[in-house]
Chain A
């Protein structure tokens, strides 16, 4: 990783696949793209096998377009649907064992800080509700207790999508799933509040209805993690398969949930707030 690593060596351009040349010439490396310019630059993520109309796939698309520094980023994922797309992007991807993402990310971030003391190397975990709040719960919480400086993004489809519809701690109470035939017996875990009391310095909850806002939240979560401590994004990313949402209605569903239990919410420590205020003042001047 690093900009030098991405460039095509002189003389080799004509042998490189078209997709790669596009990535270097019309992609995101070495410059900051605006998410509103999607469709006019080559995106970091490529064709992948996630289902038609999957809004987890959509969120991941926006995620890659929002990275402040893709050439200095490492993405960590695990078993679950998200990794099907995360593994098809031009950003280094590490597959952590299911449940282990936040332990692997902790070690990785610490090692990168020692190896590159003069640079920011961003580490971002993207994993499912099962991966982070059930099976990886201990690892997730302890990375926050230890104030590890990386970003955790939970792509919450409220089910174990990849293994065919088991309930998770994030499934809403009462919901019937293929493998929760009696209906979920317990409340949805309040992940955002857990993150706040466990040491995260920036926390957001978002439904994917507004790409500009998603991009802002992702950038903020990554920048705050560089300087202050763990950051967490709880994103609603519906599974149209397990929740039987007609694909044409997927965005309507996201808008609907935003009005109910996925209202946009953003919280940060005073220190982080000051940092963004300073940064935004400078941006206005420039």
Chain B
């Protein structure tokens, strides 16, 4: 079991923002889906550092990312 970030896509889509994508240390881990205007996390690549949460919640006060527990293979 480990923690990964998960974007609340309906919330995120309100902002047309991309800031978390630009500050995640991992390549192609948070991506951006233009047609839905939302960020999304590829859980296999996420290391659970919460830098994206710092960006979205602490800096931007948008609170669109939560940390969730996943099982290997989920």
Interface residues of A (CB under 8 A from B): 35-36, 38-40, 42-43, 45-48, 50-55, 57-58, 61, 64, 211, 247-252
Contacts and interface: CB of A to CB of B under 8 A. Distances in A.
B21 A58 contact: no
The 9 closest A-B pairs by CB, nearest first: A53-B49, A52-B47, A39-B21, A58-B25, A247-B49, A39-B32, A248-B50, A43-B27, A52-B49
A211 B22 contact: yes
Interface residues of B, number: 25
Given A36-B22, A38-B21, A39-B18, A53 B30 contact: no
Contacts, number: 73
Given A36-B22, A39-B32, A46-B27, 14 more contacts: A42-B28, A47-B26, A47-B27, A52-B47, A53-B25, A53-B50, A54-B25, A61-B24, A61-B27, A64-B27, A248-B50, A248-B51, A250-B51, A250-B54
23 contacts: A36-B18, A36-B22, A38-B22, A38-B32, A39-B21, A39-B28, A39-B30, A39-B39, A40-B32, A43-B27, A45-B27, A47-B26, A53-B47, A53-B49, A53-B51, A55-B25, A57-B25, A58-B25, A58-B51, A61-B26, A248-B54, A250-B25, A250-B54
B15 interface: no
A36 to B, nearest CB: 7
Given A39-B18, A248-B53, A248-B54, A52 B27 contact: no
B5 to A, nearest CB: 11
B64 interface: no
